[in-house]
Amino acid sequence: QQQVKQSPQSLIVQKGGISIINCAYENTAFDYFPWYQQFPGKGPALLIAIRPDVSEKKEGRFTISFNKSAKQFSLHIMDSQPGDSATYFCAAVNSGNTPLVFGKGTRLSVIA
């Protein structure tokens, strides 16, 4: 049972463009939604996270948009750069100690 559905599976964006990755969740008890960035041969790195009491969070070029009623959240990468090329995972957790549930990942390629 996949509790977090992520799309698209892969994404190619021109340098300077906007990368958008979407996730949908089922469990309304989730209360923390992080995004992780993973480069080949490395572990996932926490990128940005949001709680459901806000609709948007921005850190530099990275923005999370959150729609509680639709049970969806998305990552926007503004001014995408070749160095952003990596696999991105959305995740969700209930802070009452359920484990992190990850999406299947999106492989982003930013081309010059």
Residues in contact with other proteins by CB under 8 A are 6, 32, 34, 36, 41-46, 49, 89, 91, 93, 95, 97-105
What is the C-alpha separation between 11 and 31, in angstroms, rounded?
27
Q: Which residue has the tokens 């996270």?
A: 49
Do strands 19-25 and 4-7 pair parallel, antiparallel, or not at all (unpaired)? antiparallel
Q: Indicate if the alpha-carbon torsion angle 44, 48, 55, 81 is positive or negative.
A: negative
Instruction: Please say which residue, 29 or 45, places its beta carbon nearer to other proteins.
Output: 45
Instruction: Please say which residue, 17 or 72, places its beta carbon nearer to other proteins.
Output: 72
* Two structure tokens written together for 39: 């480069």
Instruction: Please say which residue, 42 or 58, places its beta carbon nearer to other proteins.
Output: 42
Instruction: Please say which residue, 43 or 83, places its beta carbon nearer to other proteins.
Output: 43
Residue 37 amino acid letter: Q
